[in-house]
Amino acid sequence: MTQVTMIEVGPRDGFQPIVPFIPTARKIEIIENLYAAGVRRMEAAAFVSPSAVPQMADAPEILAAAAALPGLDAQVLVPTARQADRAIAAGARHLVFVVSVSETHNRNNVRRSPAESVEEYVRLVEHLPGAIRLNVATAFDCPFEGRVSADAVFDLLDRLVPLAPSAEIALCDTTGRATPGQVMRLFGEAAARYPGGPSWVFHGHDTYGVGAANAFAAYQANVRAFDASVGGLGGCPFAPGATGNVATEDLVWMFENMGIATGIMLDRLVETAHDVTTIVGGQTGGRVRRALAAAHTLKTSE
């Protein structure tokens, strides 16, 4: 059976924009429940300035709890080499570095130009003791500058790919405005441009309701790893109007019903998806959770 890798980003991308601080024990409980559902790759936290993103102030504690789960690949996001040093000191072995194609978004997101972020990436890969993944934000659209051209994406990737040719790279639909055709073309062009190079990941938001369709378009372009957030939790504070990530349960339902294995137990995952809807200040989405609940209600009423 064909298999895909689901990368759960709810504990980082989902929690990050929520203003009331989620108790650390509550975050760990959700992480453990996701693990129990079969999740084996997870973006557990971000090592960032607590003053800029207060929700991530407990990143070292969250990483320690996630790293204690046998077989879980707990990755953490870092925006700078200095924060990478913090993460490594806390025990991180899989880092995610983010840079935006858009100048305006990169400055809003990490207070640097894309060129300065490339310099940070150079410093990072020179001394990295573990695995690295690169998130290319605004690869399709920018909330400030509009549509992003493929040429702009490849201008950036041409500088980044040679620095760590085997690094995993996620092309991110930060605003959720990408279309399936756009997704398929960009990943197809990327694979042709860097043959035998990076492994690719699709990171999408569901702002216009085509998140799952975009993920399938990426699959058709031979992408086999997908970011998603339980319950569709999320929303980027530096991308006004963007809704949460594509819901993990939506992609698991889609792939499993296509005969494509995810390794995740949908019923256990949906339980956690319902749970995260109770988080105060959280923005949730997704369709499968609600559809299954409605079907259950109909069945029990018959």
- pLDDT (tens, 9 = 90+) of the chain, 302 residues, equals 799 999 999 999 999 999 999 999 999 999 999 999 999 999 999 999 999 999 999 999 999 999 999 999 999 999 999 999 999 999 999 999 999 999 999 999 899 999 999 999 999 998 788 889 999 999 999 999 999 999 999 999 999 999 999 899 999 999 999 999 999 999 999 999 999 989 999 999 999 999 999 999 999 999 999 999 999 998 766 566 667 899 999 999 999 999 999 999 999 999 999 999 999 999 899 999 999 988 766 455 55
Q: Which residue of the set 28, 42, 236, 242 is catalytic?
A: 236
Are 238 and 254 a contacting pair, CB within 8 Å? no
CATH 3.40.50.720 fits 5-301, yes or no: no
Amino acid type, 39: V
- For the chain, which residues make up each domain, given as ranges? 5-301
Is position 172 annotated as part of the catalytic site?
no
Are 34 and 272 a contacting pair, CB within 8 Å? yes
DSSP helix/strand/coil, 1: coil
Contact residues for 210 (Cβ-Cβ < 8 A; gap 6+): 178, 179, 180
Calculate ∠ Cα 35-11-222, nearest 5°: 75
Structure-token pair, residue 128? 């990295």
Q: How far is CA 74 from CA 42, 44, 130, in A?
A: 5, 6, 12
- Residue in the block written with tokens 């405005």: 177
